[in-house]
Amino acid sequence: MPLEITCGSCGASLYNGYELKTAKEVLRTNQSKCRNCGKALSDHDYAIGVLPFKMGNE
By CB under 5 A, name the binding residues for Zn ion: 7, 9-10, 12, 34, 36-37
Distance of CA 24 to the CA centre of its chain: 10
Residue 30 main-chain phi, psi, to 5 deg: -100, 20
Q: How far is the CB of 27 from Zn ion (least distance, A)?
A: 12
| Residue closer to Zn ion, measured from CB, 11 or 17 | 11
| Residue closer to Zn ion, measured from CB, 1 or 16 | 16
Pick from 16, 14, 18: which is nearest to 39 by CA?
A: 14
Q: How far is the CB of 50 from Zn ion (least distance, A)?
A: 20
